[in-house]
Structure 1
Amino acid sequence: MVGELRKLQSLLLWQNNIVGTIPFGLGSCTQLTVIDISENLLTGSIPTRFRALSGLQELQLSVNQLSGIIPTEIINCTALTHVEIDNNNISGEIPSLIGKLKSMTLFFAWQNKLTGNIPESLSECENLEALDLSYNHLFGPIPRQIFDLKNISKLLLISNDLLGFVPPEIGNCSNLYRFRVSDNRLAGTIPPEIGNLKSLNFLDMCNNRIVGGIPASISGCKNVEFLDLHSNALTGSLPDRLPKSLQLLDISDNMLTGPLAPSLGSLTELTKLNLRKNQLSGRIPAQILYCSKLQLLDLGSNGFSGEIPKELGQIQSLEISLNLKSCEMFKKSLRTYT
């Protein structure tokens, strides 16, 4: 029935309780520019007949119960700008020719059952701004070519089986705002070129196998607010200079050594600081007083010595969590703090 609506341009049925499969006849509605049937109870697969929709610009199928594969025929929809198929049960590999979608600016396929490698051809989607392939079973390296995308602002690859390392080409992504690759098997070091990312706001590389030190160039990320590197194998000391824009800093469960620099007090926007389970030593600098917005401070399981700075008691917002457990100073009375 729906296939008889030959002049239909937009199909907007999102957020209902529609059941069944996507009508095969939609492929006959060749004037369609938008299909949004997200947030329903649809099952079955994405119809191969969508290949006839050469003018389709937005395909939104998120939050259903769709299965099957991403049909290769989708590459015929060359006008596509938005492809959202996240939160389904779609399996198989991402079509190797997906780079044919030159107009695509957004590709969301997170929370599915996708396998295989991330196609190198995605780098041919020159207008791509947001790519989210998180929570799948993708493996292999992150293609270097992905970092040639000049417009990419969000690159999210959380919780896959990705290997290899983050290449220095990441420094070319001048518009990158959010980069999340946590919960993979990435190794190698943090490339110094990451300091070129002036627009970066959110950097999440936690729970990988990253080694080496935190590059001093990280201070170049002038707008980063969220930096999460916990559960890696990082060594060396905490850089003397960190971005003053930081609100959350988590480098717990690594192998950092040395003392904390007094410059830590320059992080006046910091609300959460977690450095537990490292090999840090020395005294906690009194300059931490200037981190007046701190709500959570966890320095447990390190080798700090000396007295607990009385200045900590002046941070009025520090009421969620203060953990100095397993530090040498913990043996001293806490009365100077309270």
Structure 2
Amino acid sequence: MSSIRILNLEDNEFTDSVVSSPFTSLTSLEFLSTSGNHFDIPSSLGPLANHSRLKVLILDDTKLTIDTKVASLIPRFQLMVLSMSNSPSRGFELTSLGFLKHQYDLRILDLSLNYISGPFPAWLLENNTKLEKLFMANNLFTTLEVPSMTLFNLSELDISNNNMRGELTTEFCANVPNMSYLNLSANRLEGNIPPELGSIKSLYVLDLSSNNFLGGLPIQLLDSKLGHLNVAYNKLQGEIVLSDHTMNPHLSRLRLDHNLFTGSLFFLSSLVDLWVLDVSNNNFTGKLPRLITNMSLLLALDLSKNQLDGLIPQEICYLGDLEYFDLSDNNLSGPLPFFISKSMLHIHLNRNKLNGTLVHALSNSYGLVTLDLSENEFSGRIPYWLGNFSQLSILSLKGNSFYGTFPEQLCKLKSLSMIDLSENNLFGPLPSCLGPMDLSKDYTDKVISSTTEMGDVIIGWSPWSYVRTIKSHPESFHIKMKEEFQAPHTVGFTMKGRFDSYKGYALLKMVGLDFSCNQFSGEIPPEIAILQEMLTLNLSHNKLTGRIPMSLSSLTKIESIDLSYNNLIVFNVSYNNLSGAIPHKNQFGTFIENNYYGYHLLCGLTLSKKCSTTINVNCLATKSCATTKEDGFIDEETFYISFGVSYTMVGLVIPVVLFINPQWRYGWFHYVELVITTCQSLFITCYYFVQDGFRKLSRGQTF
């Protein structure tokens, strides 16, 4: 075993302390991977210090223990590849980089998902001038410090999600001339985005999202060889105007969302090879440019939450590969064009001014998972062909002018998780065919995990290539960085009387039905209770009659039921052991005799049996003559008890507070003394005033 040069134990269930394991004697090792096990390894890597041939060390998802030898230990190895990234579930807590002080030959270093704090370690880059890839995302770095030397070999850098402060300077851009992948997202970087980033000719992926960058978007970034540009969630502003000769055939993903950009979208005419375009949550104005239709590769288009107006161009609907389409929260008007794309999965057109009938506008979109047309001005009947969309999970037609009866074809939709037909003009009976529907069947992957993948950016490296004797497994190990467009799937729904937006995990768990604010009549079909996964049911503001079906009590997961503003019988106490006079105040006066079946000891205005005397019937039935006060608003005994307890507590709290706080005690005594002095003065004044008055009266004088 002492001659072993390559040892890979990755993803097993081994448990051992490396100090006492055979690892210490395997000094010929060049490659060692213990990732995904339960080994206990000192953070100084002391047990491996004598492994002078070790070049590749993979310790991902491994438990490290604190070692006091970190500062003094000088290992004999010079690593080329070191990976110690970890998942939070492992409880890994690498907090110091001291064990790297003596490493000068690193090419690939991955220390992401740890608890390393302090300024970004620029010294690590300066010590390892051959470093090619550095991944230190999800740590606790405080400030961004720029290396003072040019790093010609560094091509990939990910220090995202560290909450770092500072500015991205031109010096930084000059020192990484061969950078191809740069991810600084989810920090607190500020200032302007340096235009010099566009001068890095090899830069292909740039992610500056979720920072505090100000100013405009440097045009140089759109006129470079960038393939992926993400500046979402910043404070960028102004218009984006490109020159006539600007053309970027490489840019495939562009995210400008959640900023303060203004002006038109005409600049998109130069970016015809986009796969993903998200400019939502800005202040763009004007009409939708027809030039978007030149983006034949477009898979995801999100222009929501802007101030766009006019018609939806028919040409957009000819984008045959389009899967995600969101124009919600704009001022778009006119009819809905005929959609040709059969690959469409998610359509969000809610909160616009679209009108007309649907007719056959979406009849070819058989793969739809989400259809949100809520809060527009659509009219006509709900189209029957919606029942052909077997994958439909979310259907929201809320706040339109649809009329007619509920189309029974919708009962074919077995994958629905949310259906909202509220605030329309629908009438007729509620559908009893909803019973067989399974509102939660197979919608998890389609609604939440549905991700538009536009290929993978492989940031590949092969640790095997650093072990010269092994050349038969060039792709055994690699780092795969996926660039995906996560469809937001934000859907509004009313629950517990409050309209909220649901997304992510909340949307995953949201299962509901809302038919409120229509003209539905008749009884509530008991079959509706078969929808066992339902969390919310809203049938309010209709013309429903009859009794509330007992079957609703079987909805064990229900959190909200709203049946208000109908003509339902919501009170029935038939066949119990009640006796006495029936109350006639408030809502009790509206109930009829059918609500009191099976009672021989009740009497009152609602029943044919009147109460002939003022003697309480309950007294006669129970042989008790105790006086009752059936209409009393407050229980007198409870009132007196609570009154006495309250004043007793006040009497006890005041002395305790005055005892604890001397300043308040002195203030209180001063106040009491002042009141007593004032009262004494008033009493003396009143006394002499009255005495003088009687004296004058006795003498016959007037005041």
- Give the match for residue 74 of structure 1: 197
Deviation at 1:280, TM superposition (A): 1.9
- SS at structure 1 position matched to 2:516: coil
Q: Is the 8 A contact 1:263 1:287 kept in 2?
A: no
Deviation at 1:163, TM superposition (A): 4.1
Residues of 1 paired with 2:356 and 2:194: CA distance? 42
What is the aligned counterpart of 1:283 among 404, 429, 432? Answer: 429
Deviation at 1:25, TM superposition (A): 5.1
Q: Which amino acid in structure 2 is aligned with residue 235 of structure 1?
A: S
- SS at structure 2 position matched to 1:196: coil
What is the aligned counterpart of 2:337 among 184, 192, 199? Answer: 192
Residue by residue over 1:224-245, the C-alpha shift from the partner in whole angstroms, topping out at 9 and shown as x without a partner, is 2122222333333322112221
Question: In 2 relative to 1, CA 158–267 (structure 1 residues): closer, same or farther, beyond 3 Å?
Answer: same
Deviates more, 1:67-76 or 1:228-237: 67-76
Q: Report whether the alignment pairs 1:220 with 2:343.
A: no
**Which residues of structure 2 form unaligned runs of 5+?**
1-121, 236-258, 441-510, 553-703
Deviates more, 1:42-51 or 1:59-68: 42-51
- Give the match for residue 169 of structure 2: 47
- Give the match for residue 517 of structure 2: 301
Residues of 2 paired with 1:52 and 1:166: CA distance? 46
Question: In 2 relative to 1, CA 8–161 (structure 1 residues): closer, same or farther, beyond 3 Å?
Answer: farther
Question: In 2 relative to 1, CA 55–290 (structure 1 residues): closer, same or farther, beyond 3 Å?
Answer: farther
Deviation at 1:205, TM superposition (A): 2.5
CA RMSD of aligned residues (A): 3.2
- Give the match for residue 88 of structure 1: 211
Question: In 2 relative to 1, CA 51–223 (structure 1 residues): closer, same or farther, beyond 3 Å?
Answer: farther
Q: Is the 8 A contact 1:9 1:34 kept in 2?
A: yes
Q: Which amino acid in structure 1 is aligned with residue 337 of structure 2?
A: P
- Give the match for residue 410 of structure 2: 264
Residues of 2 paired with 1:217 and 1:291: CA distance? 25
- SS at structure 1 position matched to 2:292: helix
Residues of 2 paired with 1:11 and 1:290: CA distance? 54
- SS at structure 2 position matched to 1:41: coil
- SS at structure 1 position matched to 2:438: coil
Deviation at 1:60, TM superposition (A): 1.5
Deviation at 1:8, TM superposition (A): 4.0
What is the aligned counterpart of 2:159 among 34, 37, 40? Answer: 37
Deviation at 1:17, TM superposition (A): 1.6
Q: Report whether the alignment pairs 1:233 with 2:377.
A: yes
Residues of 2 paired with 1:154 and 1:22: CA distance? 36
Residues of 2 paired with 1:275 and 1:283: CA distance? 14
What is the aligned counterpart of 1:248 among 376, 394, 400? Answer: 394
Deviation at 1:55, TM superposition (A): 4.3
- SS at structure 2 position matched to 1:188: strand
- SS at structure 2 position matched to 1:20: coil
Q: Which amino acid in structure 2 is aligned with residue 326 of structure 1?
A: H
Deviation at 1:289, TM superposition (A): 3.2
Deviation at 1:22, TM superposition (A): 5.7
Residue by residue over 1:230-287, the C-alpha shift from the partner in whole angstroms, topping out at 9 and shown as x without a partner, is 2333333322112221111112122222222111112111111011112222333333
Q: Report whether the alignment pairs 1:20 with 2:166.
A: no
Identity of aligned residues (%): 27
Question: In 2 relative to 1, CA 190–276 (structure 1 residues): closer, same or farther, beyond 3 Å?
Answer: same
Q: Is the 8 A contact 2:272 2:292 kept in 1?
A: no
Q: Is the 8 A contact 1:41 1:65 kept in 2?
A: yes
Q: Is the 8 A contact 2:332 2:353 kept in 1?
A: yes
Q: Is the 8 A contact 1:304 1:327 kept in 2?
A: yes
**Which residues of structure 1 form unaligned runs of 5+?**
none
Deviation at 1:16, TM superposition (A): 1.4
Residues of 2 paired with 1:142 and 1:92: CA distance? 25
What is the aligned counterpart of 2:543 among 328, 333, 336? Answer: 328
Residues of 2 paired with 1:79 and 1:163: CA distance? 39
When normalised by structure 1's length, the TM-score is 0.82
Deviation at 1:78, TM superposition (A): 4.8
Question: In 2 relative to 1, CA 200–91 (structure 1 residues): closer, same or farther, beyond 3 Å?
Answer: farther
Q: Which amino acid in structure 1 is aligned with residue 344 of structure 2?
A: L
Residues of 1 paired with 2:357 and 2:177: CA distance? 49
Residues of 2 paired with 1:164 and 1:72: CA distance? 35
Residues of 2 paired with 1:190 and 1:31: CA distance? 56
Question: In 2 relative to 1, CA 109–124 (structure 1 residues): closer, same or farther, beyond 3 Å?
Answer: same
Question: In 2 relative to 1, CA 202–241 (structure 1 residues): closer, same or farther, beyond 3 Å?
Answer: same
Q: Which has the larger radius of gyration?
A: 2
- SS at structure 2 position matched to 1:218: coil
Q: Report whether the alignment pairs 1:109 with 2:231.
A: yes
Question: In 2 relative to 1, CA 161–78 (structure 1 residues): closer, same or farther, beyond 3 Å?
Answer: farther
Q: Is the 8 A contact 1:262 1:285 kept in 2?
A: yes
Q: Is the 8 A contact 2:263 2:283 kept in 1?
A: no
Deviation at 1:316, TM superposition (A): 3.2
Aligned pair count reads 332
Deviation at 1:167, TM superposition (A): 2.7
Question: In 2 relative to 1, CA 20–292 (structure 1 residues): closer, same or farther, beyond 3 Å?
Answer: closer
Q: Is the 8 A contact 2:313 2:337 kept in 1?
A: no
- Give the match for residue 208 of structure 1: 352
Deviation at 1:138, TM superposition (A): 4.3
Q: Which amino acid in structure 1 is aligned with residue 157 of structure 2?
A: I
Residues of 2 paired with 1:238 and 1:132: CA distance? 30
Q: Is the 8 A contact 1:117 1:141 kept in 2?
A: no
Deviation at 1:139, TM superposition (A): 4.3
When normalised by structure 2's length, the TM-score is 0.43
- Give the match for residue 12 of structure 2: none
